[in-house]
Amino acid sequence: MSYNFIKVNNTDGLISITLDKPPLNVQTIPMLQEISDAFAWAKQETGKIILLNAEGKAFSAGVDVADHTADKVNKMIEVLDSLFINM
């Protein structure tokens, strides 16, 4: 499994999902989609604990305001919905 903005790992039942867009891990629609996909993957794994962490100096500075436009709002809502469903 290959991602551009996160890293995933399952070591002895500890599943880690690491935001990997330093320094501030600003979340974009593609990054949120990767996080959603990683949670869906984690559900299928044998791990019992999921650790959500981040590279860089901040866990996350929030979402990219460039993704909050009229032409992207439906996609943003769709991705956020899938993220919460997959958690």
CA distances from 38 to 15, 34, 64, 68 (A): 10, 6, 20, 23
Q: Which helix (H) or strand (E) holds 82?
A: helix 73-86
Global pTM value = 0.90
Q: Could you tell me if 67 and 76 are in contact, meaning their C-beta atoms sit under 8 angstroms apart?
A: yes
Determine the pLDDT at residue 87.
Answer: 84
Ranges of residues in the chain with a pLDDT under 50 are none
pLDDT digits (tens, 9 = 90+) for 7-28: 999 999 899 999 999 999 999 9
Pick the CATH number of 6-86 from 3.90.226.10, 3.40.640.10, 3.10.28.10, 3.50.30.60: 3.90.226.10
